[in-house]
Amino acid sequence: MTIQQVFMIPLSLGMIGLGIRMVTQKQKRFFLGLAWLTIGIGCAVAVYNPSFLKGQDSASLVLRMRIVLGFLSALVLMITLEAVRRFAMEERYALLWVFTGVILFIFALYPDAVGWLAALTGMQYVSAITVVVFAFLLLVVFDFSLALSELRADQRRVCQHAAELELRITELEQIISRLSG
């Protein structure tokens, strides 16, 4: 048993336990629990059999990439859904993330799906996936810019209105003090 295993096995077991507790608890945090379960199982497998990840030839590079991508997209999906469930994220923004997660998950299961992109650009699987991920991140960031602009416009309206109301209150106070005094 190596030092890594000594540390990692209890850690991954702990994560799995945490995941199970979250899923089965009365006050459910279902998707986050699933996320912890995924990470825990992933760590446990990696620690139990490191050669599983090492791979011997170039074909396993794609395999490893697919495994990582599968876990990653599942994580994205779960965290997003959990955030929506807790009202921490609006559906409008969640939609893009969910879409990203689903697409990546499909690419992880069916590597041939990126074939068209690879054929179009001559890229290998890994770089094709990187391009897909990058494109979606760009989309998400763009959406944030839109949201930010909208928020700034709203904030301006609210701010101006508050100032107008304050001025009206001062004027009313002056009228009142003149009437009573």
Partner 1 sequence: MDDILKKTLVIIPAYNEQAALPGLIAEVRTAAPGTDILVINDCSLDRTAKVAHAQGVLVLDLPCNLGVGGAVQSGFRYAFSHGYSYIIRCDGDGQHPPSEIPKLLAAMRVGDVDLVIASRFLENDKDSYKSTTFRYAGIRGLAFVLSLICRARVTDPTSGFQMMNRPLISYFSRSYPLDYPEPESLALLRRQGYRFREVGARFRPRITGVSSIHSMGAFYYLLKVGLALLVDRARTVNVRYARHNVIKEMP
Q: Which residues bind partner 1 (CB under 8 A)?
A: 152, 155-156, 159-160, 162-164, 166-167, 170
**Which lies closer to partner 1 via its Cβ, residue 58 or residue 145?**
145
CB 162 to partner 1: min, Å:
5
Q: At closest approach, how far in Å is the CB of 103 from partner 1?
A: 31
- Tell me how far, at minimum, the Cβ of 61 lies from partner 1, in Å: 44
| Helix, strand or coil, per DSSP, at residue 74 | helix
Eight-class DSSP state of 50:
T
Nearer Cβ to partner 1 (106/146): 146
- φ/ψ of 60, rounded to 5, equals -75, -15
Smallest gap from Cβ 140 to partner 1, in A, equals 23
Which CB atom, from 106 or from 162, has the smaller least distance to partner 1? 162
Rg (CA), the chain: 26
Tokens of residue 2, six digits: 């190596």
CB nearer to partner 1: give 28 or 168: 168
What lies within 8 Å, CB to CB, of 19 at 6+ separation is: 33, 34, 35, 36, 37, 38, 39, 40
